[in-house]
Structure 1
Amino acid sequence: MPYAAVNGTELHYRIDGDRHGNAPWIILSNSLGSDLSMWTPQVEPLSRHFRVLRYDTRGHGHSEVPKGPYTIDQLAGDVLGLMDTLKIARANFCGISMGGLTGVALAARHADRLERVVLSNTAARIGSPEVWAPRVARARGEGMVALAEAVLPRWFTAEFIEREPVVFAMIRDVFVHIDKEGYALNCEAIDATDLRPEVPGIKVPALVISGTHDVATLPEQGRELAQALPGARYVELDAAHISNIEKSESFTKTVLDFLTEPK
């Protein structure tokens, strides 16, 4: 498995498509409690048009779990460090949930490194201390298996869970094997982040995607984010929180249409 030493942390990544070709790059950033495998439905369609870079956020998957605290500056800096290591001058970026928050930070603070950005099932301010403090305590005290029963039913609609038990089982398997301290540290980083004041200054072309049934990042928050982003496009899918899996075909088409349209 390929790793890159970025900001003192070993990050696991994967590249699909012709790495040494001339296609533009797209970077995919995972949600809290998942890893780069969550992008499996998008990899093949995207790699027809892009060089696709996926990575496990610090504290997740096969990436290292450095000591905390973690900050949104670090999460964005990890992306920039990975780009520098792989000699990627500019890229498109697509992130979901925590990955979307990372995308907001990158667009606000490092616009020169981005072409276009997709911000899915996210907000410039996600949750509150009343949400995150108990989540952190439970992760550290009871572990990821206990937390899975509370968190994962919020990721998908009940209909999807019933219809796709194997997919849900695979998602759960990834979740319960996330390092509990890595998960907790990322929760604290999200809780400490409020990028709402920075959003109006973003100049990077942006697409915001929400899920109609998302209870983690409400569609109202997605609409607010899109309205605050100059010229942003907003699309709402008939999904809950992990819309790129629940409505994979619609999600992929929406993202590809946005990324490939002429400027």
Structure 2
Amino acid sequence: MALLEVSGERFRVEVTGPEGAPPLILSHSLGCTLGMWDEVVPLFAGRRLIRYDARGHGESAAPDQVYSMGDLGRDVLAIMDRLNLATADFCGLSLGGMVGQWLALNAPQRLTRLILSNTTAHAGPARFWDHRIKAVRKDGTGPIADSVIDSWFTSEFKAQRPARVAEVRAMVTGTKPSGYMGTSAAMRDMDFRADLPRIATQTLVIVSDGDRSTPPAWGEAIAAAIPGAKLARLPGGHLSAIEQPEAFVRAVSAFLA
């Protein structure tokens, strides 16, 4: 694991797997860190995995300003440049899937294949995000953590894996308010719905039946709009890479194969 200087800012990046193996970038959800991928990393065989703390999260730069999805996408391109990666497969969950859509629309030459998991092309009414930003500005991320976690995990998983749920909650409460607010603004202002038919990158969309943050219909709409996109359906909640790691890796690996 390393803290890399990227375009004059610090980013936490972890690279694992055989050197020279096909690279797969993993991009996490709002309020998480690269630790969101802990369950799936050991399950990917023969892949060079690159995961990172997104701008505003974990140990990466968290400037106190409004971010755009372009800012987050250009961070990925800068990390790829820093690692001398001309192209890579990209897998993004929730926020990461929104970044993936931006990349496919604005830098398709850098992507070989694209996995969009538990995500949306439009994150709902601006007033929801304005309210969330106002709440975090006033009191930080602590007061919103329980409602966020409740919407992310199924009741069954919360009962079976309370320690892991607590770890993810700590990711949310540990997210700097400046980073959470800046990223929330990027999600508020994003709308890729009209642009999805322009995506030419080979795409897999993953939805989860129990996802209350990005309901399956939202992912199904993405898959229907991107020419030739494939759709995979998993059980469980929003953070499918945590709740259903084996099924998640099977779906991704079958697509990449």
Whether TM exceeds 0.5 here: the answer is: yes
Name the structure 1 match of 2:240: 243
Q: Distance in 1 between matches of 2:123 and 2:61?
A: 24
CA contact (8 A) 1:9 1:58 kept: no
Name the SS of the counterpart of 2:72 in structure 1.
helix
Aligned to 2:173: 176
CA distance in 1, matches of 2:81, 2:95: 22
Distance in 1 between residues matched to 2:131 and 2:212, nearest whole Å: 17
- Confirm or deny: 8 A CA contact 2:40 2:249 kept in the other structure: yes
Who is 1:230 aligned against? Answer: 227
Q: Is the aligned partner of 1:128 residue 2:130?
A: no
Q: Percent same amino acid among aligned pairs?
A: 38
- Look up the match of 2:70: 73
The ranges of structure 1 where at least 4 consecutive aligned residues each deviate by more than 4 angstroms after the TM superposition are none
Query: Gaps spanning 5+ residues in structure 1: where?
Result: none
CA distance in 1, matches of 2:99, 2:7: 16
Specify the alignment match of 2:98 in structure 1: 101
Q: TM-score, normalized by length of structure 1?
A: 0.95
Q: Determine if contact 1:157/1:213 at 8 Å carries over to the other structure.
A: yes
Cα distance in 1 between the residues matched to 2:65 and 2:9: 12
Pairing 1:56–2:36 present: no
Correspondence for 2:27: 29
The one-character-per-residue Cα deviations of 1:66-105 (angstroms, maximum 9, x if unpaired) are 2312111110000000000110011000000000000011
CA distance in 1, matches of 2:167, 2:58: 13
TM-score after normalising by structure 2 = 0.97
Whole-angstrom CA distance in 2 between matches of 1:159 and 1:127 = 27
Which of 130-139 and 55-64 deviates more?
Answer: 130-139
Q: Which amino acid aligns with 2:229?
A: A
Cα contact 2:43–2:246 (8 A) shared by 1: no
Match of 1:193 in 2: 190
1:7 Cα deviation (Å)?
Answer: 3.3
Mapped partners of 1:179, 1:112: distance in 2: 33
Q: What SS does the corresponding residue of 1:196 show, helix, strand or coil?
A: coil
Offset at 1:6? 2.3
> 5+ residue gaps in structure 2?
none
- Return the letter of the residue paired with 1:194: D
Given that residues 146 and 169 in structure 2 are in contact (C-alpha distance below 8 angstroms), is that contact kept between their aligned partners in structure 1? no
Aligned length: 257
Spell out, residue by residue over 1:102-156, the C-alpha distance to the aligned partner (whole angstroms, 9 max, x if none): 0011011111111111000101111221321111111111121111022110001
- Higher mean C-alpha deviation, range 129-138 or range 68-77: 129-138
Q: 1:67 to 1:7 in 2, by over 3 A?
A: farther
In the TM superposition, residue 37 of structure 1 has moved relative to its aligned partner by 0.4
The whole-number CA distance in structure 2 between the counterparts of 1:76 and 1:128 is 22
